[in-house]
Amino acid sequence: KAGVTQTPRYLIKTRGQQVTLSCSPISGHRSVSWYQQTPGQGLQFLFEYFSETQRNKGNFPGRFSGRQFSNSRSEMNVSTLELGDSALYLCASSLEGNYEQYFGPGTRLTVT
Amino acid sequence: KQEVTQIPAALSVPEGENLVLNCSFTDSAIYNLQWFRQDPGKGLTSLLLIQSSQREQTSGRLNASLDKSSGRSTLYIAASQPGDSATYLCAVCHTNAGKSTFGDGTTLTVKP
C-alpha cells in the first residue's frame, strides 16, 4: 500500500507571495492532518480535515487555510508569506477510530 | 491545554546499551500516544502506538509503556545500534481525531 505523499518536496518563495501544498493520504484514510515544524517551535498542529470538513484547527493566523477533496486528498494554502513561515510542513493521514498517524516526507518551504 | 515534555533533550550512548526515553503529559484524558522516529530533514516514522486502554506495546527491540494516571510514557530501546541514531518524538492524541500534541523530542546518538 502506498504511503502518504506530499508535493512539492521543496519550495522557495518570496515574502508576500502565496503557496499551495498538496497531500495524498494512504488509500482508505479519511483523516488528514497538517503540522508545521520549525527548530524554534517544534511540531505544531495546523488543522485536520475529515470527509471534506475541517474538524480541528490549531492556533495559526487566517493566512493558513486548507481544504480536502472527495478523494481525501488535501491541500493547504499560505497567503502573504512571511519569513517566519519557513518550515517543514508535514501531512499525516489516519484511519477513523484508531488515529494512528502516518506521515509524509514533508514539504520544505523557504521564504526569502 | 495539553503539554508534552520529553527528557532528556539529547542522549549519547555507546553501541549495545539499553536505554529509556521519557515522555510526560499534563492532561491524562488521552485517546492514544504514539512514538515516532525522525531522521534529519525527513518525515516521521511511526514506531509504536499505545491506545488509552493499553499499558504497553512492543515491536522488536522497542517497548513503550503508558501510565495515564501519572501522565507518563517511556520508550525502551534494547541493545542500541548506530542505526538507531535519530530524534525520537512522543505525540499525545487527546480526542478521537487526528490532532496530536508533540514533545520537542530526544536526539539520540549511538556511538560505534
Measure CB to CB from residue B98 to each of A44, A48, A88 and give the nearest one.
A48
Measure CB to CB from residue A31 to each of B41, B98, B104 and give the nearest one.
B98
By CA distance, what is A3's nearest residue in B? B45
Average pLDDT, chain B: 94
- The yes-or-no verdict on residue B1 having pLDDT over 90 is no
Q: What confidence tier does B11 reach under pLDDT thresholds 50, 70, 90?
A: very high
B104 touches A: beta carbon within 8 Å:
yes
pLDDT in tens, A46-93: 999 999 999 999 999 999 999 999 999 999 999 999 999 999 999 999
- The yes-or-no verdict on residue B28 having pLDDT over 80 is yes
The shortest C-alpha distance from B74 to chain A (Å) reads: 18
Find all residues with CB under 8 Å of B99, minimum gap 6, and list them.
A33, A45, A48, A56, A58, B93
From chain A, the residues in CB contact with B93 under 8 A are 99, 101
Element housing B23 (H / E) = strand B19-25
